[in-house]
Amino acid sequence: MPSDVQRWQTTGKRKTAIARVLLVPGTGTITVNKRTLEDYFPRLPLRTVLRRPLALAECEALYDVIANVRGGGPTGQAEAIRHGIARALVLADAARRPTIKKAGLLTRDARKKERKKYGQPGARKRFQYSKR
């Protein structure tokens, strides 16, 4: 890759998944962990979630996306990549920020799994109360 090509690198996060996203001018190819998008995410809804920022900015065929993601499950990973792509698109062109922000794609979804409490079977579940 030539050094004079403009490229933007960002980080996206969701639950325990962390994605490093590189946005490069190109033809619209998306690569995740050195695999094609269809190979890495066989489920269509996850691919749709991942492409949403590109569709909103109307630049699906303008940029190639190279993503390295680790941690979490498939949904968390797809949403982490989506977060990284949204951030990179704003870096590439600040005029896109209002559109992407209004869709809620720049906000990191901070919800995580609640931890299990000691002396109880789960995070919220309690053992059955016995009066006698």
> What are the structural domains of the chain?
8-102 (3.30.230.10)
Coil, helix or strand for 76? helix
Give me the pLDDT at residue 41, please: 96
Q: What is the pLDDT of residue 81?
A: 97
- pLDDT tens-digit series, residues 12-52: 999 999 999 999 999 999 999 999 999 999 999 999 999 99
Asked if pLDDT for residue 3 goes beyond 70, the answer is: no
Distances in Å between the alpha carbon of 37 and those of 32, 33, 34, 42, 56? 6, 9, 9, 8, 19
Element of type H or E holding 19:
strand 17-25
The answer to whether the pTM exceeds 0.75 is yes
Q: What mean pLDDT is predicted for residues 65-80? A: 96
Residue 25 DSSP code: E
d(CA 56, CA 102): 10
With 70 as the cut, is the pLDDT of residue 1 above it? no
